[in-house]
Structure 1
Amino acid sequence: MRARRLTRTLTCIAALSLAAAGCGLSGGSDGGDSTAGGCKVDQGNVGSGKLSGDVKGTITFQTTNLKKDFGDYFNGVISAFEKAHSGTKVKWIDDPGDATFTQRLVADAQGCTLPDVVNINVNTAVALTKNGYLLDLDKKAPDAGKPFVPNLWKSSLYADASGTKVHSVLPWYSGGIVQTFNTELMKEAGLDPAAPATTVLGLFDDAEKVAKASDGKYYAFLANPQLRIPADWQQMGIKVLSEDGKSFTFADDPKTAQWVEAMTKLYKAGGMPRDSLSATQDPANVYGQGKLVYGPTNPNFLRFIQQNNPTVYKKTGVAPYMLDALGHTVGAPQYIGVASTSKNAATALAFAQFLTNAENQLAWAKDPNVVIFPSTTASLDDPFFQSVKGDDPFAEARKIVASDRKTATADEIALTPGELNAISAQIQLAMQGKKSAEDALKEAQSKANELIKQGS
């Protein structure tokens, strides 16, 4: 997991440009052959009607970079499933999860060799759903959403080939989001660690006080806007994309200009390191050196600080994330999808639901080597999350996130690398005083919209 919020996952898989000609779905649920994403499949996998069939046979299950650290857990889940369903066999493979992951998986799908059950992120879910490679759970498993936190399930929707939003994935684990800060530096700057900011612009107000008090000895946070967009904008209630996702709209909201002006003012005041405007520094490392007031927002970062900078860890405070105008947090979880091209779809679906059930999710969340939060209501209601002992930063974070997961949604707006770079470049010009906030945003939106049209 990354040291900042999971909202950094990159989306809008137009870059992959799956051929629309091979994306049709047809067929009913009465056996025989049909097509899904250009692949020949059993009619029961597509069209109307609940999925039926015996839970038997062999399926392939693919995770993303999990085997090295969690082999015992997953082998245990697989063994339990095979024991409960005589005649089944689950072959587990683990993808390294590098930058070409989505492209490789889409290529597998186009070749009609997509794993039966697959661990995917939001980008891949968008691409595979759009092109018909995942089961439509609303039709094939209409009760699939019952175990999951209602807000999370309702928002885990992706558009199919017709543009209709469907449930094509089961929510799995997420990293959560909190505010973290160096309490000593906050006090030195005249801020109260017990009363952290509750809005994004309120955070910038506090950051200005840091700039005035620090005299360059420490900073509020790093300057690169890529670290804050579009997360800040979403929390502020800014509409980043049009409803159909085909154009950007962030420049049309005056609040976005207020945000750019706040970034610019703070940068000029010395509240951010000058050399961090376009740098790719890891804020976790800089925070661990005692040079930042505000740390990354993923609870996993706290484990990193605890292990590598115990002195700073003891000074670290934790608070709920700024809900701002949105009223809740966002952040896409990891998902489990079932291939519509599966030869044993009933078995694949049964295993996917078994893997993501409350009992198995809770068991993994209790592993001391991982910092994750489950997606099922029953898991989050367990005393492990509700009766957390201790008042150290990590214990506080677990309490906060367990509550936060009950209201969080998966309505994350994620950006492709090209879109993020194009938008950030214009904001950086504004922060350097080379453009007004309005002009920078207008140009950023224009360039980002060009990229959408180009499919990049």
Structure 2
Amino acid sequence: MRASRLPGSLACFLALALTAAGCGLSGGSGDGEATAGGCKVDKANVGSGALTGDVKGDITFQTTNLKKDFGGYFNGVIAAFEKEHPGTKVKWIDDPGDATFTQRLVADAQGCTLPDVVNINVNTAIALTKNGYLIDLDKKAPDAGEPFVPALWKSSLYADASGTEVHSVLPWYSGGIVQTFNTELMKKAGLDPAKPPTTVLGLFADAEKVAKASGGKYHALLANPQLRIPADWQQMGIKIFSADGKSFTFADDPRTAQWVEAMTKLYKAGGMPRDSLSSTQDPANVFGQGKLVYGPTNPNFLRFIQQNNPTVYKKTGVGRYMLDDLGHTVGAPQYIGTSATSKNAVTAVAFARFLTNAKNQLEWAKDPNVVIFPSTTASLDDPFFQSVKGDDPFAEARKIVASDRKTATADEIALTPGELNAFSAQIQLAMQGKKSAEDALKDAQSKGNELIKQGS
């Protein structure tokens, strides 16, 4: 498992906000009261022993900015649950998901009014689990993980107040990751679109061939390192953090220097536009202009190209993402958590499991207005993902990602904006020949560790 780490600013905010409420999970206090995160709760919500009882009564369900586009779907799920369990009522709240989302959720937790069932991201899951606000599913619903892809379930663990890693959330939907490329430009460079690279450094080697063949008329990749880190490093199996997550270690691995050297060589060879080193150009736009060989890795990008540049879309190839030394891909899904402060935990857990079951996840994934991939094995085995006919790029991507999701984990590493900027600045100096790869990485790591101490 990874050493989970909150971005510094979020960690500081949560530490201050949650201290007043009290942290941790307890089966009971001195006067016999059960507590969770400092809130008085039903004793059945905490401690050992699975939740038991009838599924009935009222609960609150909160999503994040989904009602406008998917109201019909969620209202249907809620209606089906209420029909299956007479006597239940699910009140749906949709948070706008803006910059103050976490603050609002923390305020709810402090006030012991966290929604019974809540849609959260990785960082919020980490914080709420550590402070005792989410139900420990390993104890309260020990069979909850059965429908989910084993690798994803196994890696969706977060530390509680004691430091023990527990399943406090159910993995929900995620985006996929694929290789996309302009097949016509690949052929011009002497590359075979049927054999895309299988490693990160192999991608750079192919990109050098593009540089030699293109004469500057088109390029392989954009140069800004922010587009590639830390994903490339993680895929190469480089240990970015120490085991405790409290310091950076990427500069200690010689493979990171190899990566910087490969980026530098490609940049100098003309495989990347000179003006893209520090720019915020969107690769999707450049690819859509037919001037970039390798496009973005999000399958949703294919929809963008199909709608805006149909000529380029017809030339777009799709391949499995580079597994490299890691052996699988990573990607943080959205999660569904159940509140340890719920006054109706049996119904909350039942609804969370109903929402994330194979049938309901598959139904949403089939919505033509969304490009998402489910977290259950049965959903991914459905013909919708597996029986792909023709050579349509998006259809092919669906099949590739569905297969990939069966081995992908939730171990995606995210850097804070300050860390990403600091690392990129040093690597850009190396790519310009102003520093060696080793010195740039050493300085980047040093600056990163300073930012961690400062709570960047």
SS at match of 1:385: helix
SS of the residue aligned with 2:319? Answer: strand
- Write out aligned runs for 1:98-137 (5 A): 98-137=98-137
1:189-209 deviation per Cα after TM superposition (whole angstroms, max 9, x unaligned): 121111111100000011111
User: Does the CA-based 8 Å contact 1:377-1:406 persist in structure 2?
Assistant: yes
Amino acid at match of 1:381: D
Displacement of 1:238 in angstroms is: 0.4
User: What is the match of residue 439 of structure 2?
Assistant: 439
* Residues 1:271 and 2:271 are matched in the alignment: yes
Q: Would the aligned equivalents of 1:11 and 1:122 in 2 still touch at CA under 8 Å?
A: no
**Structure 1 residue 151: deviation in Å?**
0.7
Displacement, 1:235?
Answer: 0.9
Shift in CA distance, 98/289, structure 1 to aligned 2, threshold 3 Å: farther
Give the C-alpha shift of residue 288 in structure 1.
0.9
Q: Give the 3 Å change call, closer, same or farther, for CA 86–66 of structure 1 in structure 2.
A: same
Corresponding residue for 1:230?
A: 230
Contact map agreement 2:176 2:299 (CA 8 A) in 1: yes
Give the direction of change, closer, same or farther, for the CA distance of 1:10–1:455 in structure 2 (3 Å limit).
Answer: closer
Query: More deviation in 121-130 or 200-209?
Result: 121-130
1:382 is matched with 382
Residue of structure 2 in register with 1:211 after alignment: 211
How has the CA–CA distance of structure 1 residues 98 and 283 changed in structure 2, closer, same or farther, with 3 Å as cutoff? farther
Cα distance in 2, alignment partners of residues 324 and 74 from structure 1:
38
Residue identity in the other structure for 2:359: E
Which runs of structure 2 are paired with 1:251-330 in the superposition (5 Å)? Answer: 251-330=251-330
Measure, in 1, the Cα distance between the counterparts of 2:217 and 2:95.
43
Q: Please tell me whether the aligned partners of residues 134 and 338 of structure 1 are also in contact (alpha carbons under 8 angstroms).
A: yes
More moved, 247-256 vs 340-349? 340-349
Residues in 2 aligned to 1:340 and 1:158: alpha-carbon distance in whole angstroms: 15
Query: How far off its partner does 1:153 sit?
Result: 0.4
Alignment counterpart, residue 11 of structure 2, candidates 11, 14, 26: 14
Retained in 2: the 8 A contact 1:138–1:166?
A: yes
Distance 1:180 1:262, change over 3 A: same
C-alpha deviations, 1:163-197, integer Å up to 9, x for none? 21111110111111110000111111121111111
Inter-partner Cα distance in structure 2 for 1:91 and 1:358: 22
Question: Who is 2:351 aligned against?
Answer: 351
Task: Map residues 145-184 of structure 1 onto 2, 5 A cutoff.
Answer: 145-184=145-184
In the alignment, does 2:338 pair up with 1:341?
no
Deviations 1:398-420 (A, max 9, x none): 11111111111111111122222
Distance 1:405 1:441 in 2: 32
Residues 18 and 131, structure 1, Cα contact 8 Å, conserved in 2: no
Greater Cα offset, 40-49 or 324-333: 40-49
C-alpha deviation, 1:84, in angstroms? 1.3
Write the deviation string for residues 85-130 of structure 1: whole angstroms up to 9, x where unpaired.
1221111111222333233322322232221111111121111112
Answer whether contact 2:24 2:160 (CA < 8 A) is retained.
Answer: no
* SS of 1:18 mapped into structure 2: helix
Amino acid at match of 2:376: T
Q: 1:28, CA displacement in angstroms?
A: 5.8
Distance across 1 between alignment mates of 2:229 and 2:402:
24
Read off the aligned partner of 1:76 and give its amino acid letter: G
Would the alpha carbon gap of residues 400 and 253 (structure 1) be closer, same or farther in structure 2, given more than 3 Å must change? same
The superposition leaves residues 23-51 of structure 1 with CA deviations (integer Å, 9 ceiling, x where unpaired) of 1211169x963222222222221222212
Name the SS for the 1:295 alignment partner. Answer: coil
Could you tell me which runs of 5 or more consecutive residues in structure 2 were left unpaired when the two chains were aligned: none
Q: Alpha carbons of 1:121 and 1:163: their partners in 2 closer, same or farther (altered >3 Å)?
A: same
Q: CA–CA distance in 1 between the matches of 2:144 and 2:131?
A: 21
- The verdict on how the C-alpha distance between 1:406 and 1:11 changes in structure 2, with shifts beyond 3 A counting, is farther
1:387: Cα distance to partner?
1.2
Equivalents in 2 of 1:444, 1:379: separation in Å? Answer: 42
The unaligned stretches of length 5 or more in structure 1 are: 1-8
Task: Quote the residue 1:410 is aligned against.
Answer: 410
Q: How many angstroms does 1:237 deviate by? A: 0.7
2:256 alignment partner AA:
T
- What do the CA deviations read for 1:263-307 (whole angstroms, capped 9, x no partner)? 111122221122222222221112111121101111111111111
CA–CA distance in 2 between the matches of 1:314 and 1:15? 48
- State the AA in 2 paired with 1:447: K
* Secondary structure in 1 matching 2:256: helix
Query: What is the rounded CA distance, in whole Å, between the counterparts of 1:275 and 1:106 in structure 2?
Result: 42
Deviations 1:46-75 (A, max 9, x none): 222212333222211111121111111000
State the alpha-carbon separation in 1 of the partners of residues 370 and 363 from structure 2. 11
Give distance in 1, aligned partners of 2:455 and 2:44: 33
86-95 vs 371-380, which moves further:
86-95
TM-score calculated relative to the size of structure 2: 0.94
Runs of 4+ with deviation above 4 angstroms? 9-13
Which stretch of structure 1 is more off in the superposition, 147-156 or 219-228? 219-228
- Report if the CA contact (8 A) 1:129-1:161 is conserved: yes
Contact 1:115/1:342 (<8 A) preserved: yes
Single out whichever of 89-98 and 352-361 deviates more from structure 2. Answer: 89-98
CA contact (8 A) 1:65 1:96 kept: yes
Q: Match of 2:60? A: 60
How far apart, CA to CA, are the structure 2 residues paired with 1:97 and 1:10? 18
Aligned pairs for 1:423-434 within 5 A? 423-434=423-434
Matched-pair contact (CA < 8 Å) for 1:56–1:85: yes
Q: CA RMSD in A?
A: 1.9
Match status 1:399 vs 2:394? no
Separation in 2, partners of 1:311, 1:173: 31
Report the CA distance shift for 1:281/1:418 in structure 2 as closer, same or farther (over 3 A): same
SS in 2 for 1:187: helix
* Structure-2 residue corresponding to 1:6: none
Residue 4 of structure 1 corresponds to none
Is residue 211–residue 270 contact of structure 1 (8 Å, CA) maintained in 2? yes
CA distance in 1, matches of 2:433, 2:97: 39
In 2, Cα distance between equivalents of 1:429 and 1:69: 44
Distance 2:6 2:131 in 1: 18
Q: Which amino acid is 2:408 matched to? A: A
Residue 15 of structure 2: SS of its match in structure 1? coil
Match of 2:240 in 1: 240
